[in-house]
């Protein structure tokens, strides 16, 4: 991309790179005897994606390579009902995302419609970070 002097890189990040994990979401597991907390390494690695995005955006800006990140929240993938109940009760839209609901954001970030955008983190989270 740098040699071609054009391109768009989209890093996919997690809501837990922006905010700390809500450990209450996993209480149902602890109630059934599991010892489970979302590990700190998960949040640390996810937040690293955000700074990697900013670094690369600045590094490749002169070569007309844009680098942005898309932060997503939970995606429905047949999770346990106990988890869904707690998660959906916490998120303002009241449900997890369907996989195709991120398509528009990816298309926007990849297209010329966002050609002046680099180093940005686009958050599509059903309102998670609004509360």
| Integer Cα distance of 16 and 49 in angstroms | 11
| Known active-site residue 3 | no
| Known active-site residue 20 | no
**CB distance 14 to 129 below 8 Å:** no
Of these residues, 46, 69, 87, 105, which one is catalytic?
46
- DSSP 8-state symbol, 78: S
Q: In 3-state terms, the chain is what percent helix, strand and coil (to 5)?
A: 50, 15, 35
| Known active-site residue 87 | no
Of these residues, 5, 37, 42, 111, which one is catalytic?
42
The residues with which 86 forms a beta bridge, in sequence order, are none
Instruction: Tell me the catalytic residues.
Output: 14, 42, 46
């Amino acid at each position: 991309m740098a040699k071609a002097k054009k391109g768009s890189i989209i890093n996919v990040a997690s809501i837990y790179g922006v905010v700390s994990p809500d450990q209450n979401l996993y209480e149902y597991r602890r109630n059934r005897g599991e010892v489970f907390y979302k590990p700190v390494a998960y949040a640390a690695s996810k937040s690293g994606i955000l700074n990697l995005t900013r670094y690369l955006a600045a590094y490749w800006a002169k070569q007309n390579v844009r680098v942005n990140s898309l932060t997503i929240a939970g995606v429905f993938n047949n999770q346990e009902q106990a988890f869904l109940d707690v998660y959906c009760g916490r998120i303002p839209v009241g449900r997890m995302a369907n996989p195709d609901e991120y398509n528009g954001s990816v298309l926007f970030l990849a297209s010329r419609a966002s050609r002046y955008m680099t180093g940005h983190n686009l958050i599509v989270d059903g309102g998670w970070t609004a509360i």
